């Protein structure tokens, strides 16, 4: 009886140790994937800050040529302020769903306002030819591309985290350990882009 009890206790201890290591492995994987989402958002954050820093210079340059377009310039400035505030609300936390949606909406409005500014600037040949405006436009376009790339990488990392977190058995450990859902960053565009017509 004593030997059987020792064998049972040893087997139970081994099983508990295996279970503990297995749970730690899942916990560590969840932590790794979550940290990747935070890092992915940090990359977006860097590019958004660069974008926000360029906009005042762009507006100031355009002001000298577009005196009659005050409404357009004010819309860009206002949209930038809203996007900057939304970015502050997110505070690098990809689990803050409401703040991420607010940021997506604000970024959509800013993109729309900048698009209108660029469209209106086409009517001012002297502005288009201004060296400073050309450089700022080029930098802004480059930054927009970097934002899009960083957003795609971030959303991919959120997808990996969410997919793993919702599978069995990680879903059991994620719930107990307090892992929250990460939110995708979707830029809301109220104006749908259409493919340009090609004529020969």
Span 67-116, pLDDT tens digits:
778 899 999 999 999 999 999 999 888 889 999 999 999 999 999 999 99
Domain-embedded: residue 133: yes
Domain-embedded: residue 12: no
Number of structural domains (the chain) is 1
DSSP 67: G
Position 193 scores a pLDDT of 44
CB 120 within 8 A of CB 156: no
Is the sign of the CA dihedral 187, 54, 112, 86 positive or negative? Answer: positive
Phi/psi of residue 166, nearest 5 degrees: -95, 5
Band of the pLDDT at 12, cuts 50, 70, 90? very high
Band of the pLDDT at 148, cuts 50, 70, 90? very high
| Angstrom distance (rounded) from CA 17 to CA 169 | 17
Distances (CA, A) of 39 to 15, 50, 159: 36, 17, 14
Domain-embedded: residue 139: yes
**Is the pLDDT confidence value at 122 over 70?**
yes
Domain-embedded: residue 197: no
120, burial (CB in 10 Å: exposed 0-12, middle 13-18, buried 19+): middle
Domain-embedded: residue 91: yes
- The pTM of the full predicted model, rounded to 2 decimals, is 0.83
CATH (domain of 113): 1.20.1440.20
Position 192 scores a pLDDT of 43
Phi/psi of residue 171, nearest 5 degrees: -60, -35
The CB-based long-range contact list for 87-92 (8 Å cut-off, 24+ gap) reads: 87/45, 87/48, 87/49, 87/52, 90/41, 92/38, 92/41, 92/42, 92/45
| Angstrom distance (rounded) from CA 99 to CA 38 | 14
Position 189 scores a pLDDT of 65
Rg (CA), the chain: 25
Domain limits at 78? 30-177
Domain-embedded: residue 1: no
Domain-embedded: residue 113: yes
Q: Which residues contact 72 (CB under 8 A, 6 or more apart)?
A: 66, 113, 116, 117, 120
Q: For residues 23-48, give the mean pLDDT.
A: 95
| Angstrom distance (rounded) from CA 69 to CA 86 | 26
Domain-embedded: residue 95: yes
């Amino acid at each position: 009886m004593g030997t059987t009890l020792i064998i049972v206790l040893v087997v139970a201890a081994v099983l508990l140790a295996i279970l503990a290591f297995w749970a730690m492995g899942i916990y560590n994987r969840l932590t790794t994937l979550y940290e990747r989402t935070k890092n992915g958002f940090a990359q977006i954050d860097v590019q958004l800050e660069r974008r926000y820093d360029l906009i005042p210079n762009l507006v100031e340059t355009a002001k000298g040529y577009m005196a009659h377009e005050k409404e357009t310039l004010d819309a860009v400035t206002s949209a930038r302020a809203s996007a900057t505030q939304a970015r502050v609300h997110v505070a690098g936390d990809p689990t803050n769903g409401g703040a991420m949606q607010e940021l997506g909406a604000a970024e959509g409005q800013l993109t729309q306002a900048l698009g209108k500014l660029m469209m209106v600037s086409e009517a001012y040949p002297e502005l288009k030819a201004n060296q400073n405006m050309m450089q700022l436009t080029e930098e802004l376009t480059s930054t927009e591309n970097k934002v899009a790339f960083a957003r795609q990488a971030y959303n991919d990392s959120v997808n990996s985290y969410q997919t793993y977190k919702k599978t069995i058995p990680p879903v059991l450990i994620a719930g107990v350990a307090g892992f929250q859902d990460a939110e995708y960053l979707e830029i809301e565009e109220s104006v749908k882009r259409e493919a340009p017509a090609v004529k020969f």
